[in-house]
Structure 1
C-alpha cells in the first residue's frame, strides 16, 4: 500500500512546510484525504529519494454567489534542478490540475503562488476568471 505511506509523508512534509506560513493547508489536505471528498485533490512530485519537491492542492469552495470556485495552493522546493526539469515538472502539475478542474466544471480559479505565465495555461483552457495571489517568501 504505497498510497497511505505517500499520504503520510505528504502530510508530514506539508505540516513542516506550512509551519513557516499562516495558511490552513495541512487541515485542508487532511480533510481531502480523510473524508474522500472528491472536491479536493493533491498532486505531489517526488524526487528519487521520494522527497516531495513540487506539487499542488486544489479544493473547491462555494462562493457567496453559489458558484463553485477552485482554490489552488502550488509549491516548489528548491532542489537545484535544471530549468528543463522544472519546466517538465510544472507542465505535469498544470496538466493534472487543468484536467481535474475541468472534470468538476470549474470556470473560476484563485491561485496562490502561481505566476502569471502559468495562469495563462488555465486561461487557454477556458477559465474565464483567474486571480493570481503570490504568497510572500515563496
Structure 2
C-alpha cells in the first residue's frame, strides 16, 4: 500500500460500530486538517430568512410574470413555443424552472444524506464536523 496516501483524518469505522463513536479518546485525536474550511463556513453562510438574499414578502404573479428571463428557457426558442400565446409561454417557462429547482433540491437532499452517512462512520471529530 505504498502507492496510496493515508491520512488518519479519514479513518472510518463500520456504520454499525456505535461503540467506536463513544470512545472518549478519539476526541483527543481531532485533526486540524479541516479547521480552516470549517471556520470559513460562516463567511459563506446565507440566511434564507434575511431579506437581502430573498424577500419572500414581495408579491409575484406566476400567471403573468416569468421566473427568469424567457431568453434563458431553451424550450421557448423553438417553433413549438411560437404556437403558444403569452400566458402559455409564461406557464411553460415557469413550470420548467420549477422542475429545474426541484432537480437541484433533489441533488441537495442526496448530498445531505451522504454527509449524514459520513458523520456515522468517520472517527475523526474534525472530519465529522466538516462532513456535517
Structure ranking higher in strand proportion? 1
Question: Normalised by the size of structure 2, how large is the TM-score?
Answer: 0.22
Question: Normalised by the size of structure 1, how large is the TM-score?
Answer: 0.21
Structure ranking higher in helix proportion? 2
- Which structure has more relative contact order (CA 8 Å, sep 6+)? It is 2
Q: Which has the larger radius of gyration?
A: 2
